[in-house]
Amino acid sequence: MSSTRALAFEVNGLTQRYNGVTVLRDVEFSVPVGSIAALVGPPGAGKTTLVEILLGQLTPTSGTASVGGLGSGAPGDRPLGVLMQPHGLHPARTVRGHLLVYAAAAGVSDDKVDTVLATTRLDSVADTKVRALSPNVQARLALAIALLGNPPLLILDDPLTDLDPAERAWLSDYLRRHARRGGATLLTSQSLSAVLPIADNLILLGAGSVVFQGSPRALRRNHPDRLVVAASSPIALATMLASQGFTDAVMRSDGRLAIAEATRAEIEDAAGRARVRLLEVIPEPVHPDRVLAALTRTAPMRALHDPTRYPPSTGGYGPGGSAPAQYGFTPPQGNSIPAQYNSPRPPYVPVTPSNSIPAQGNSGSAPYGSPPGQQNPPPTQYGRPQ
């Protein structure tokens, strides 16, 4: 019997063009059940277009995108829960009122509303109107709508945008438990540092192309933290380190060594053996968002999405609008999707057009140090806490 895990999401050779402009270029990735994958890239990278193709809202120029392959279905009344930006919450409706409306549209019984309220810690504000909720709680309500049918598969579009650190920790914990139950999540983000504590796998997009795919650990190996060392004889120190297996030592223009993988104690030991005097040892942690900026700058350049053919969202389904995407989409057809995944779309519910999100800065050429627009942040570690 094969030990290969079933795939929750699969994209093969996906290309999308608008009037000759390539928005996605030969994108390929897969997300197995029991895992969390993050699709990360700057504004305009193609994340939303890719999600719309997965949801069946757009037909790709070429390639395939499938949701819910054979064997991927964990127990649930609805196969797919989706959270999109904007959330489309009515300011005058209560938390419970929103959930009851969406439950009726999705064919979910009202008793599930109380269950979801408890799961998302919204029971204490169930009768509060949306206009009185903080952005944190509004984001949790949007997630609650996506969870109404207990879906095994989740697509979350930029779910971390309005969350403070405590809320992000709660969401991370929930998604890990969801994965342990056999569920799978694909989430998008503009920030690599935001998703590193959550994701098992990373798919980094730049200008419509995949520029990195793999685990946070693999990304860290390619872009390690370094110790910058000033020494009386940097060449002798580098030679001794190499003899001990520490071969990633880069000579800077100022004569200092930028050393990866070795600890301070190991560097001091090598210096003692080489009879080299250490003058200065400064930690230089790599910031993940600088890594993202460096990787996406190497991606092929392309023109932006055509605004005349696909204008900003004004509500409704399709390229020119947004759907009540929190639950119950019919996955793309013709990709060997089990029959139970072909659930009807809910009735149309108007949504409010999104405010534009400012693009992240992209200053500097080195992938190390502070993220764009931020000074001296605390070091960010790759991967989940152990």
pLDDT band at 3 (very low <50, low <70, confident <90, very high): low
Report d(CA 36, CA 71) in Å as an integer.
Answer: 17
CATH architecture entry for 7-220+289-341: 3-Layer(aba) Sandwich (3.40)
Q: Is 138 in contact with 89 (CB distance < 8 Å)?
A: yes
Under the banding of pLDDT at 50, 70 and 90, the label for residue 110 is confident
* Local confidence band at 106 (pLDDT 50, 70, 90 cut-offs): confident
With a cut of 60, say whether residue 324 has pLDDT above it: no
Q: Are 352 and 90 in contact (CB under 8 A)?
A: no
pLDDT band per the 50, 70, 90 thresholds, residue 131: very high
The percentage of residues in the chain with a pLDDT greater than 90, rounded to a whole number, is 56
Mean pLDDT for 220-244 is 93
CATH topology agreement for domains 7-220+289-341 and 226-284: no
Nearest of 15, 21, 84 to residue 50 by alpha carbon: 15
How is domain 226-284 classified at the CATH fold level? Answer: Alpha-Beta Plaits (3.30.70)
Q: What is the DSSP-derived secondary structure letter of residue 371?
A: P
In the Cβ-directed half-sphere of 79, how many Cα atoms lie within 13 Å? Answer: 25
Residue ranges covered by each domain of the chain? 7-220+289-341, 226-284
Mean pLDDT, residues 124-133: 93
What is residue 19's three-state secondary structure? coil
User: For residues 68 and 335, what is the distance between their CA atoms, to the nearest angstrom?
Assistant: 9
